[in-house]
């Protein structure tokens, strides 16, 4: 094998190894992030469920992506919306709360 072919093959192998390693690392972090987001969603759901005033006729939906909690739904007063947002902010791992909860007064 000539020197030129050796360097070409070696370079291609190194590039492929780096690409596969980066892909595998990104894939694992995505799985871990999803598990953390699922835990955060469960914790926010549990926190909201402990407050009877946030129950029916209020409907609050919770979704978490990248440690950001998204609240949506409909409540009967703005105080209930504020309470739900504050409870979500207190959950460990939450970096931000985005609310699109509609108040039907």
How far, in Å, CA of 4 to CA of 15, rounded? 17
pLDDT of 30: 58
The answer to whether 74 and 59 have CB atoms below 8 angstroms apart is yes
How far, in Å, CA of 80 to CA of 55, rounded? 10
Question: What CATH code would you report for 3-103?
Answer: 3.30.1340.30
Summarize pLDDT for 8-21 with one digit per residue, the tens. Answer: 544 444 454 554 44
HSE-CB for 41 with a 13 A CA cutoff? 16
The domain segmentation of the chain, as residue ranges, is 3-103
Taking residues 24-51, what's their average pLDDT? 79
Summarize pLDDT for 77-98 with one digit per residue, the tens. Answer: 999 999 999 999 999 999 999 9
DSSP conformation class of 67: T
pLDDT of 12: 47
């Amino acid at each position: 094998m000539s020197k030129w072919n050796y360097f070409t093959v070696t370079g291609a192998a190194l590039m492929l190894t780096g690409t596969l390693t980066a892909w595998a690392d990104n894939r694992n972090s995505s799985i871990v992030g999803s598990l953390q987001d699922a835990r955060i969603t469960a914790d926010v759901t549990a926190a909201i469920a402990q407050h009877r005033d946030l129950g029916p006729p209020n409907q609050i939906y919770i979704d978490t992506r990248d440690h950001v909690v998204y609240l949506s739904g409909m409540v009967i007063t703005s105080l209930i919306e504020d309470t739900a947002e504050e409870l979500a902010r207190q959950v460990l791992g939450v970096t931000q709360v985005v609310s699109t909860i509609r108040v039907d007064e």
